[in-house]
Copies of this chain bind each other. A is one copy, B any other.
Amino acid sequence: MNIGDVAQLSGLPAKTIRYYEEIGLIEPLRAANGYRSFRESDLHKLAFLGRARSLGFAIEDCRTLLALYRDRDRSSADVKQVARSHLDCIDRKIEGLTEMRKTLAHLIDACAGDDRPDCPILADLATGDPAHHCGRQFG
């Protein structure tokens, strides 16, 4: 299979596949003309990578997961550890974003959004008014 074929089958852009080879995640063979020649196993790895990436695993995690996958003597605890630590990472991100979202939504709510210049959003950014840190908006 050429790169275009595996790109289509795996759903990954050809560029990404070349990049994955460059960083050693896959090692496709080469045909006489210099083209990469992908085996079923390469395609399988790429699909694995695509799914791991879509779950947000970092490339280095993907490398670890691939290694665990190929290791018949792995313990599922090792896999679970990787996944759990990634889950923690996701939770921290969600928490941070939710905090931002809350503050921002308050500010947007308080902004008239008309043609006058007065704007609580800018006022907050300028003064660091911590009003959004407590519950009451009209105290």
Contacts and interface: CB of A to CB of B under 8 A. Distances in A.
B125 A69 contact: yes
Interface size class of A (residues with CB under 8 A): 35 or more
Contacts of A52: 125
A117 B75 contact: yes
A87 B101 contact: yes
Interface stretch (A13-21, A27-35, A77-85): A77-85
A24 interface: no
A119 B80 contact: yes
Interface string A93-108: 1100110110111011
A119 B81 CA distance: 12
A44 interface: yes
Interface in A58-99: 65, 68-69, 71-77, 79-81, 83-84, 86-87, 90-91, 93-94, 97-98
Of listed A73, A86, A126, A128, residue having the most chain B CB within 10 A = A126
Of listed A51, A74, A121, A125, residue having the most chain B CB within 10 A = A125
Given A83-B107, A126-B69, A55 B113 contact: no
Interface of A: 44, 47-48, 51-52, 54-56, 65, 68-69, 71-77, 79-81, 83-84, 86-87, 90-91, 93-94, 97-98, 100-101, 103-105, 107-108, 111-119, 121-122, 124-126, 128
